[in-house]
Every structure is written in structure tokens, then in C-alpha cells.
Amino acid sequence: MKKMIAGATALAASAFLAAVATPSMAEAKSLTLCWAAWDPANALVELNKDFTKETGIEMKHEFVPWTSYADHFINLLNSHSSECDLIIGDSQWIGGAAENKWYVKLNDFFDKNHISMDTFLPATVVGYAEWPKNTPNYWGLPAMADAVGWTYRKDWFAKPELRAEFKSKYNRELEPPKTWDELLQVSKFFTGKEIDGKKVYGSYIYTERGSEGITMGVTNAMYNYGFDYMDSKKPYHMEGIVNSAGAAKGLDVYKELFNCCQPKGLTNAYMSEGLDAFKSGEVAMQMNWYAFFPGLAKDPNVGGDKIGFFKNPAGPAGQFTQLGGQGLSVVSASKDIDDALLYVKWFAQPAVQQKWTDLGGASASKAVLESDAYKKSASYAPSFVESMGMVKDFWAEPLYVPLLLDMQNRVHDYVVANKGTSKQALDALVKDWIKVFKQEGKDPS
């Protein structure tokens, strides 16, 4: 009976406390930060505990899987939802976000708080903050620097019997490839070999059809063979640029790599499938975003001494790589814009940027990335810093989604489904893109 009375008293007390506490909790300040669900997001949750400690503002997080990240958040922004106060949005969104006023323009705020864009890597400022591109109109703060890079099985490359076989076959040492020709050669060499009792493939490349995968992959070959988005002297003029002979050759090279050396069944595969293929010892080399490399470097099976990293190989037209990453923006529909700006100010501090990188994020701050300490901090760091200096990005127009889906469609049809020729695929892409730009009211002639 005593127990029952004690239980009832405790229950009544907790109900009373809950009733009393609810109004005061509702008054507590909080901000919601929206991003994709992946490894760096966990690091950000850890980092944001410092912000809460310093300001008393609680940080809530809404992380959505990559496959629905763009759809989900673009719909929220477009409907002027106040669900997110802060958003780490993809680089391609910046045009639409600026023109549709989804983001708060940050120029005055930066001036007032002495936040200089000169302290960030130039490519990240153009990619994650500026619209129109290459003009000092800022809609975000570079938050997560990223680019496409490559991992390789260092232990396989070091096997004496494989090195000897490679040298006798190609008359050079078996080393991480520096050009796309070498990449093809090394991939073909490894494909079909039996290593550690398992048949392996040469390389893993992106082939995903639904969102952005194959475009984020194929551009790494196409840029380096001469592909560009438009005539630099004539904005939006694409004929002969997008479908140039060099661009078609780059597309052919990517297809050749897919045909010869991609593990069977990976015809609609993006980041996670690449990580799985590499971690399970199925491929010798893997294309993927640098954001995953801290995790891979620590992987108990393939990390440590077994893994090596190299930047995207060069081609006849130069050496570029696909820009990834995102900027931090304040959502204009937020009900707590002042607090959100306070967060941006806090996040831009050099010490916070350093801690962000230490926790597993990737600061775009020059002070952090270009320091000797960073370059020595991890095996992937030197190639990451170099990669961030050779990035190119996809269109960031307000209508980037149809532009991206058109490229996904044309490239996937050619590379994976063997439809037509590379020239036909790119000619069709130019037609598709001209139609989209006309819809946007721009003159692509």
C-alpha cells in the first residue's frame, strides 16, 4: 500500500512538474539547422553543442538522406516554410535561392560583422555563396568544402607480384594514376584479378540515374577532355562547347571505364554503393566525395596503411574535378533570423572553423586548409587541398533541376544503356538545355 501511495505521489509530482515546466521550455530559444544525413552532419551536431553552451540557444537538426535531400528542402524553401532557420544547401541551389528570395542576402551582415570572403577558398565562395556568379553578392557562408577524389588500395598496389606483372606489361611502375589514360590502364590491369581469394574489379565510378550521381561522375572525365558549360565570351551559348569533340571524347572515356572495370550490377550506383564496393574489397580504386575520406581512412578493414588517395587524374585539356560541398544560409522564412545570423557569425570564427575540421567536417577557410598542420593531419589532406584548387561546378541556375535531369538522362542512356553515340547524346543535351534556358527567359543562341 505504501508503495502504491509513493508511486501515485511520484506520478502526480511528475505530472505537476511537466505542466509547470512546459511553458518555460516553450520560451527557450532554439534554431533548426537542415542538411543531408551523412558523416559530416554528425560532426556538426557535436560542434553545435559549443554554440548552445555559449549562447543558450538550443540547436535542433533536420537531416534528410541524400536521395531526397534536394526534393525535400527545395519544396520547403519554395513553400516559404519556417521549418528550417538555417540550411546547408547544395551549391546548385544558390541561383534559385537568390532569385526567389529563399535565402537572406548576407552582404550587410558580413560587412557589419567583419566577415571577409577573402578568408575562404575562392572556389567555395563562387560555388557556395555568390549569385550571380563572380559578383560580390553573398547568399551563404562557405560551410562544407568538398570535391570528387579517388581512393585506392595501397596494399594491393604494393604487392610485389602485381608490381612486377604491371611493369612487364606496361613498362612503368604501378602507381596511382595521374591521367585518365593511366586510370584506364590501371583499372583494366586490376579487373578480373584474384586478390585475397576474391575476384576484383579495377574501379568504381558513379552511375546513379535518379538524382545527380552520373553527372557528378562523368564531368570528372569530360572537364579534362574539354567539356565546358558555355562559351566564356558569350553567356549561355552552348553549341560547340557542351558537345565539342573533346567533351564527346571525355564521355567515351567514362563509358570505356564503365564497360571494362565497373563491378557488375552497379549500373545505378552513387556514393554509398562506392563505399560498399571499396570496403568489401571489390574494387582497387573508387571515385567518391572527399567528405567520406576521413571515415574511410579510419575504416578497420580498408583504412590505415591499406588506403591511399589521389586527386582526379588529368586529361588533354587540363586537370579539373567536380565541386561538391555546400554553403550555410539563413532561410528568409525563418522566424528567428537574428538568432540564425548569430549562428552564422559564430560559425565563421577561425577557432570554430578549425574545430569543425578537427571533428570530421571540412572547413573552406584558407587559414585551416592551407596550414601545414592540416596537410599533415591526414593522408587525404594534401590531395584534398590541391583538388579544391581545381574544381568546376555544374550549373547553379534557378532551373538547375531540369538542367541536371536532362544531363542525367542523356549521359545514362549513352554510358549505361548504349544508346547512340557520345556526340548524339551531347547534341541532344544541348537541345534540352536550350529549351530550359528559353523557359527561364535567357537567350542561349
Q: Where do contacts with another protein occur on this chain (CB under 8 A)?
A: 71, 74-75, 78, 100, 199, 209-210, 263-268, 282, 398-399, 401-402, 405, 409, 412-414, 416-419, 439
Q: How far is the CB of 190 from another protein (least distance, A)?
A: 16
Closest CB 287 distance from another protein, rounded Å: 18
Least gap, CB of 436 to another protein (angstroms): 9
362 or 434: whose CB is closer to another protein? Answer: 434
Report residue 19: phi and psi, to 5°: -65, -40
CB of 200 to another protein, least distance (A): 11
**Strand, coil or helix: 315:** strand
Cβ closest to another protein, residue 154 vs residue 279? 279
The per-residue b/e assignment along 191-220, b for 16 or more CB within 10 angstroms, e otherwise, is bebeeeeeebbbbbbbbbbebbbbbbbbbb
| Residue 263 DSSP code | P
Secondary structure of residue 302 in the 3-state scheme: coil
Smallest gap from Cβ 131 to another protein, in A, equals 16
Give the nearest distance from C-beta 159 to another protein in angstroms: 23
Q: How far is the CB of 64 from another protein (least distance, A)?
A: 16
Give the separation between CA 211 and CA 399, rounded to whole angstroms: 15
Which amino acid, residue 90?
D
Q: What is the helix (H) or strand (E) element at residue 282, kind and residue range?
A: none
Residue with cell 585539356: 317
Cα(199)–Cα(205) distance, rounded to whole angstroms?
18
Contacts of 251 by beta carbon, 8 Å cutoff, 6+ apart: 218, 221, 222, 227, 411, 414, 415, 422, 425, 426
Rounded to whole angstroms, how far apart are CA atoms 153 and 296? Answer: 11
Nearest to 367 by CA among 378, 379, 355, 380: 355
Grid cell of 412 as nine digits: 545514362
Residue ranges in 147-239 assigned as alpha helix (H): 154-157, 160-170, 180-190, 213-225
Looking at the Cβ atoms of 110 and 414, the one nearer to another protein is 414
| Of residues 231 and 282, the one with the C-beta less far from another protein | 282
Distance in angstroms (rounded) separating the CA atoms of residues 395 and 433: 11
Phi-psi region of 4 (alpha: psi -120 to 50; beta: other; left: phi over 0): alpha
Tell me how far, at minimum, the Cβ of 202 lies from another protein, in Å.
Answer: 15
Q: Nearer to another protein by C-beta: 281 or 303?
A: 281
Residue 31 is placed in which grid cell? 534554431
In the bound complex, what is the minimum distance in angstroms from residue 243's beta carbon to another protein?
A: 17
Measured CA to CA, the distance from residue 189 to residue 183 in angstroms comes to: 10
Distance CA 411, CA 323 (A): 19
* Shorter beta-carbon distance to another protein: residue 339 or 413: 413
Which lies closer to another protein via its Cβ, residue 22 or residue 421? 421
Nearer to another protein, 91 or 211 (CB): 211
Choose between 261 and 364: whose C-beta lies nearer to another protein.
Answer: 261
Task: Report how far residue 393's alpha carbon sits from residue 387's, in angstroms, rounded to the nearest whole number.
Answer: 13
Instruction: Report the nearest approach of another protein to the CB of residue 428 (Å).
Output: 9
- What is the C-alpha separation between 389 and 319, in angstroms, rounded? 10
Taking the CA atoms of residue 62, residue 378, residue 215 and residue 443 in that order, the dihedral angle to the nearest 10 degrees is: 80
Cβ nearer to another protein, comparing 51 with 258: 258
Residue 270 Cβ, how far from another protein at the closest point, in Å? 12
Shorter beta-carbon distance to another protein: residue 49 or 438? 438
